[in-house]
Structure 1
Amino acid sequence: MFSGIVSHKAKVSKVQNFNDFIRIHISTPKNFNKGLKKGASISVNGVCLTSKDNGITNLKFDVIEETLLKTNLKNISKGDIVNLERSIKASSEIGGHLMSGHIHFTGEVKKIFEKENTKDMKISISKNYSDYVLEKGYIGINGCSLTIGKVFKNQFNIHLIPETLKITNLDKLEEKDLVNIEIDQTTIAIVDTVKKTLAAQKS
């Protein structure tokens, strides 16, 4: 599990392509790998990946086709900047909201509104998940725990503060880019329960 509070940005140093998976090499910041064991779960742009080899300042991840199809890692290339977060411990402070690292869909950045120190973005919603995107609710975008702004029929707004832009790769986004989106599991459970209750009352 993850908190949605990105701890570091890191650069992709190499991408290897194999028949049915890719191997991503990431140059990690100082001390990020300290105490990290092989096979540890790391959130990379919000995707829960298993570390293959841990160097002092590098990590390797094998990403299978199923994950590539559902996430923006299918477009990853050398030099790209990714968000990183190590899995939380039982004693960890949850600064954002609990996230599993299982991406529900990719959304397209439709519009970016540049302000003096902040940014607003409008992002598309997959029609299969539109019922779960609620104003003021939680959502995970590239591994960042964010609060949903205004919701439209097929899109929603997010508001990015200077600290988020500084720590994460969201400041690098451009219109038409794809972002990894994880819906809040609590929201899914509540909405589905309400749907079932209403359906039962009608039957």
Structure 2
Amino acid sequence: MFTGIVQGLAEITRIEKKPGLHTLQIHFPTGAMENVAVGASVAINGVCLTVVQQESRDTICFDVMMETLSCTGLGKLRHGDRVNFERAARIGDEIGGHILSGHVHTQARVRALEKPTNNYRLTFQVDTAWMKYIFPKGFIAIDGASLTVAETGEDTFTVYLIPETLRVTRFALLEEGDMVNIEVDSQTQAIVDTLARLGYDGSMPPRSKY
């Protein structure tokens, strides 16, 4: 489980590619991986990965299998790329964002990037099938960062970022056309899907009790 509070940026230092499997070597800020162990979970750009090897105090290796490579942006990472990271939450930790599984649902493309005075506005385009789970003022995780949706369109949604978020995450590095990983809010998804099964999604009249 993760909280969506990105703990910083790490750097891809090596990628070993085999058929259907990439091994990522990632260098983290000093002390960020203190007491990490093989088998521990770390979210990289919102994707829950398992530590498979610790090469030094701050350099960790992760295996990324074929399904993850095809469904997320991890397969397109290159040497030197910077990624968001968050270690798994522990019992008693403050939940500053919202509860995440680290299981990416889909990807979105940066549609627009605007910088009005003292603001940073990002608009993303996503497959319309996922828009039923994205609402203004609702939660969404973008590359593992818990954010609040500001506005929505037919196939777009917009978020605003404060300077601290830009400092800690990779969002300041994004350009128009870049892809990001998306995890929709699990509670919203459960409610929407339950209502749809009961016929309250507008596709059919509600079921009669009789």
Specify if TM > 0.5: yes
Which is further off, 117-126 or 60-69?
Answer: 117-126
Q: 1-side partners of 2:196 and 2:19: how far apart?
A: 42
Structure 2 partner of 1:176: 177
Contact 2:128/2:154 (<8 A) preserved: no
What's the CA shift for 1:194? 1.6
Aligned to 2:92: 91
Alignment of 1:44-59 (within 5 A): 44-54=44-54, 55-59=56-60
> What is the Cα-based RMSD across aligned positions, in Å?
1.2
SS of residue paired to 2:150: strand
Any idea what SS the aligned residue of 1:82 has?
strand
Query: How far did residue 192 of structure 1 move?
Result: 1.2
Using the TM superposition, give the Cα deviation of residue 127 of structure 1 relative to its aligned residue in structure 2, in angstroms. Answer: 2.1
Paired with 1:200 and 1:186, the residues of 2 have a C-alpha distance of 24
Gaps of 5+ in 2: none
Q: Which moved more, 1:172-181 or 1:191-200?
A: 191-200
Matched, 1:34 2:39: no
Question: In the alignment, what sits opposite 1:201?
Answer: 206
CA drift at 1:57: 1.1
Other structure's SS at 2:166 match: helix
Normalising to structure 1: TM-score of the pair? 0.96
Matches of 2:88 and 2:184 in 1, distance apart? 18
Tell me how far apart the structure 2 counterparts of residues 42 and 196 of structure 1 sit (CA, whole Å).
Answer: 34
Q: Which has the higher helix share?
A: 1
Distance in 2, matches of 1:84 and 1:116, equals 29
Matched residues, percent identical? 37
Matched with 2:13 is 13
Residue matched to 1:127: 128
Aligned to 1:67: 68
SS of corresponding position for 1:201: coil
Unaligned runs of 5+ in 1: none
Cα deviation, 1:119-166, whole Å, max 9, x if unaligned, reads 101101222211001111000000000000110001010111101000
Larger Rg: 2
What is the TM-score with the length of structure 2 in the denominator? Answer: 0.93
Is residue 2:113 matched to residue 1:112?
yes
Change in Cα spacing, 1:200 to 1:153, as seen in structure 2 (3 Å) is: closer
Code of the residue aligned with 2:206 in structure 1: it is Q
Q: 2: CA distance between counterparts of 1:148 and 1:142?
A: 14
Partner Cα separation in structure 1 for residue 153 and residue 77 of structure 2: 29
Q: Is the 8 A contact 2:137 2:149 kept in 1?
A: yes
Residue type of the alignment partner of 1:96? G
User: Partner of 2:108: helix, strand, or coil?
Assistant: strand
The count of corresponding residues between Structure 1 and Structure 2 is: 203
